[in-house]
Each structure stands twice: as structure tokens, then as C-alpha cells.
Structure 1
Amino acid sequence: MDLWAMADRGTRRYWKTFGRRIDLDGKHSWLWAPVLTEAGGTVEDNWLQAEAERVGGWIDDGPEAGLLADIGALAGGGFDPGQLHPDVRDFYERTGLWRMEAWVQWAPVFALGGWFVSRFFGRRVGQLALPIRSLDTARGIDSRVERVAGADGGYRGAAWLRTSRATGEYIYSGFYRVSRLPGSEQPSVHVSFPLPLGNVQVFLRPEVGEGGALRLVSPPGAFGADGAYITVVEGDRCWAARIPIHEEFHVFADGANLLRTDHTLALGRATALRLHYLLLRD
């Protein structure tokens, strides 16, 4: 246990050294996201109640809870949500009514690294424990959505919590909302993954594809643009760095009118992981 604590401290020190100091109460407020305040804690859903208390609200776990209250909030900059396929819109606004099956394929050169991160970090902290083989998800993935409501009852964001049906272990614990980056006319899908004393955040640019498909892209770019970031939070001090992780989600209805998602994750210019989801409405 002490060795893992030392490794975690070393990782945080690395990002403090190579990141930049940021002001979450000022010019960098766009990088605010939930964190787990315990250095050695397990993420799972243990951050969620604290987030509801922070906004003076409560958790809404109704069966029709969606990742986004209204996908229309993404309108702007040439993106027209009205062009999306109705099932794509329904999935994001009523995610709790959908279940998923998943398949995974790692690029051989990244498979060992993916296994190490999943086995010795993801499963240990209950966050980002990505499957390594399709057999890891053969019995299915359980998914639940819990929305955070503010004191006025308004939507503040939604937690998407996914666990392995075979083992019950957490695979993924993400917080979804719509955010606008500094100087941008296009709102982004803002996904954050709480970690002990920090988080990983991804800002995804929406685009409409053929047949009303939705593409969400986190491309390369400068600090302050769509992409992936990591933060370290210690008391009232915070550091952040942009990281070379790039993702693309393609959510579409196929020829049989089934909703599917192709998810690609790249490190730099190299594709590391591909996932495919079949989405089924209950």
C-alpha cells in the first residue's frame, strides 16, 4: 500500500512540475470539475454526494435520467442539434432507458500498457479500469445515470457510472455537462473523471454526421481548446496540463436502425484503443 501511495504522490508531483498553476476561481474556472478529496481514496461514486452538497442540491436517480438535460444546449458555431437522428438525441437525454453491449480492441503495442494501468491503477482506485479483452465485457456492462440538481432544481450535470456485470467492479465514473471554452462560440460536451486529489477532463467538440449521426471529437490543440487535460488539486492550489490523448465518438443508427457507437482513443498520432458499443433501448 505504501508503494502505491508513493507512486501516486510521484505522479502528482510530475504534473505539478510540468503543468501550470491555474486559478479555478478566476480565469481558469472552465477547468473546475469534481475531485476525490482523499489521497488514497476509491473513486467509484464516492464523489457524487459531495458534488450535490457543493451546489446545495440533491441527486436525481430517476429511471429516465440523461447525460444532458437538453442536447439543444450544444447549438452554436455551425452545430445544429435539430439535424441529429431522434435516437441519438433520445440516448443523450434519456440515457437511463438505454443499455449497452461493448467490444474492445487494443493496438498490440499499447495492450500491455493498457493492462498495467487498468490492473494496478483503474481497479485499485475504481476509475478508468478499461477492459483489455472483449471477453472482459462478454456478460455485459451495467450502466446507471444520476443527475445532480441544484438548489433551484435545475440540471448541474450527470454522473455516468458503469460497472462490470460479471464482477461488479467499477469501470468508469464520469461527470457530464455542457461547457463553453474561453473565446469559443461552440459549446462542448465536458466530461470529467474524478481522481484522488485531481481529475482528468475531456472537452469534446460536437459535429453532425451523415444520417443524423453525432461525432464528438477532442482534437490536438493549444491550452484552452477542446482536448484532454489533467489537474492536481491540493487545498486551494491547483495545477493543470494538456495531455496528448485524443478521442472520437461516432454515435449513429445503422442500416437495421440499431444505435451504435464507435469510440477511438489515440495517444498522440497513434491509435491505442477502439471500442464499439451496441445501444439498446429498454
Structure 2
Amino acid sequence: MTPDGTATVLDNGRLRVEVARTGARITDVRDPEGTHWLVRTDRHEPDLEELPPDRIRFTAGTRGGWDECLPSVAATPVTADHGDFWFRPWTRLEAGPTAATWTCAPDGHPLRARKTVRLAPDRAAVRVDVEVHHGGGAPTPVLYSAHPLWRWPATARIGLRDGSDVRGAFGDRWTPDTSGRWPRLGGADLSRVDRTGPPENFKVFVRWGGCATLTFDGLGREVVVRRVGGPLEWLGICVNRDAWPADGPGDPWIALEPTTAPTDSVDDAVRAGTAAVLAAGETLQWSTETEIREVGG
């Protein structure tokens, strides 16, 4: 635990990971050299007394770290912006030096979530297991997306299987119905992300092969994201170069987001037939591993 008792610290000597009670959000991933890999801010968690769930927005929170979006990323008439779990307090069930588990069961919500964060014994790698269970009532559609905001200190390369299906989500350079093959979309090469340039915020979805790299050649390090288990057929790639939020851009970041559908809205996923639908008593699970390593390691 941190000195104020609000966060859990895991450390295997190769990575130090800090997890907040709110949202079971990973707020810090730090290597032995002292590099903080996730966006960290001095903003507070959202005040649920002032901002009830039906009015809450992700901009009201810390705007950093790594949380989980369930059962939608985009707000819907019955789901909060960024989902229903990121802003709520989670209960820690168990914890050790390198692993811990939390759960969240909001009053009146049909879903309850469970999350385990575990460090590898011999590598600078963190595994995240997320489980969602339907506690009862009518069938509920679910869209899941991880949401890690990786710091973007220098020009980066994104590595994925060439020829993978790419679909535009938002951005000024293409319309949402634009499609292509990795690494190209609408004439742009998505594999190189220049740190310098005009403000821009865009997102695409890629039908990945289960492994992606975010490489910083200037640092000699890279982030490797792997699908371990569960129906995570798509990877969202969201880039913020000094453009978000519009009322005062914060830190730049690149998000690699394993997800269940090529959309941010569970309602859109239902219409497209890409949403999972959980009946009472059913459970879904997803697992990913993220490693920090030397380039090409």
C-alpha cells in the first residue's frame, strides 16, 4: 500500500506498478531507471457527489493511467462516458508483493467486474485479467476495451502485422467509414507517429494478430502488448498530440487498446452484431500482457 492507504504497489524488481482503488486503475508503471511509462497527472479522481454516473465524463477524472472500459467506451443512454466502472471504488480482495485482485459490484447494476494485476516473475511484464459477470436480470450487451495511456516523449513506431484490416474511428484525416490495410489508412502511414506536428487526436481500429509494439528508437525501449486470452480480436489505436481535451490539452499519449469490437459504442456494436450479450449467470474474461523491453528484445 502507498503511505496514504489509497493505492496498492506491486514490484518484482523489474517493474513497479501502482494501482488506485478508484477504478482499480493502474496509475504508474515505472522501471528501475525511474522512467514512468504511463501518463501521470496531479488531477484528482472524480467527485461522485457532485457528478452522478449519468453526468460523469472521463475529462472529470485524472486523465491518465490505465483503466478498463465496461460495458462501453462511449456514453449511451444507460452507460456513463468511458463505461460504468472506471470512476467507482473497487474492493481489494487479496494482494501480495507481485499480484493483487479487486472487484466492483455497483448497486443496481447487472454487471460486476473482477480484475487481477500480476507481474511476471522474471521479466518487466504485467498481466491484466478482467472478468465480468452478469448477476441477474435481462441480457446485457457488453463491449470491453483496455485504456492505457502511454507517455509519448519522442517519435514512435507502431508495429503490427502488415495487411491487417484497419478502420477509421475519428480524426480529421478520414471519415469513420474509411478502411484500409495496415499500415495505411486514407493515404496516411500509421506505423510512424511523429511527436512534433500540429495538434491532432485520432483513433483507428486494427484487426490485429494478438501482438503489437510501441517502439521509441530514441530511448532504445519499446512497449509490447500481447493478447493472452478472451475475444480481443481488435486493437484500438488512439493518438493525442497536444489536442485533447479541447479546453486545455494535457500530456500527449498513445493508447494501444485491446478491445472486443471495432467501435467505442456498445449500441453501435449491437447494431453491427459485434457486441457480446451476457445472460444472467454468464461470465466473460479477457487477458493481456504488456512488457517493457529493449528494442528488438
Please give the range of the TM-score, normalised by the shorter of the 2 chains. Answer: 0.3 to 0.5
What TM-score results when the alignment is normalised by the length of structure 2?
Answer: 0.33
Higher relative helix content: 1
What TM-score results when the alignment is normalised by the length of structure 1?
Answer: 0.34
